[in-house]
Amino acid sequence: MTLDSVTPSARACQLGTLCNKDARLVEIVLGESRGVVRARRDVLIVEDNDEVLAVASEILTSAGYRVTTAISGEQGLKTFDKVHPDNHIDLLFTDLVMPGGMNGLMLADAVMERDPSVSVLLTTGYNEELVVNGPRKRATDVLSKPYRRTELLDRVRQALNHAVNRAAIAQSMYFGLAEEAKSIVPPAR
């Protein structure tokens, strides 16, 4: 098998430039750039207010998203660990301020450590400046409560599109490495 006879993501994996989750991310980008979009995106909603959780879940479910819910940061992380391996969570939508030992920022950081391809959208009824003060591992988007259906759907779409853009940048870096390696590695005979 030569490098030319495999898909670009498989070629990059053979060269050791991608791991499994990165290859999946690149395949999503390739699929979307070819006009093939996944029918469903998976969203984990973490919200301690039952009414807000029910409304957000209904809005996203009716828009075609597959929704999993949790009522605390700790439960959200356990749910992520349980669900994510089989049904990749595309977006974490979490309340910023929750009771218990894990708030939304801590949850987002823990999820990002497990899989940096997961998009994060925070929501809060408090001042958004709480989020921007202090060092962050990456930019975090915040949706203020109360929010309208259209606002939630737009921000979810933006967060998911941002992940696709990050993947496209990664794709170009990986494929650049693959092309460079292709010129170095002689074809198998």
Q: What band does 180 get if pLDDT is binned at 50, 70 and 90?
A: low
Residue scoring higher pLDDT (40 or 117): 117
Q: Give the pLDDT of residue 163.
A: 64
pLDDT > 90: percent of the chain: 52
pLDDT score of 138 more than 50: yes
Residue scoring higher pLDDT (8 or 103): 103
- The residue-averaged pLDDT of 159-170 equals 66
pLDDT score of 58 more than 90: yes
Strand partners of residue 93 = 45, 121
Q: What is the pTM of this model?
A: 0.67
pLDDT score of 133 more than 70: no
pLDDT score of 188 more than 90: no
Burial of 183 (0-12, 13-18, 19+ CB in 10 A): exposed
94's enclosing H/E stretch is: strand 91-95
Strand partners of residue 120 = 92
pLDDT score of 165 more than 50: yes
Reduce the DSSP state of residue 185 to 3 states and report it.
coil
Task: Name the residue with tokens 């939630």.
Answer: 152
Q: Give the pLDDT of residue 16.
A: 37
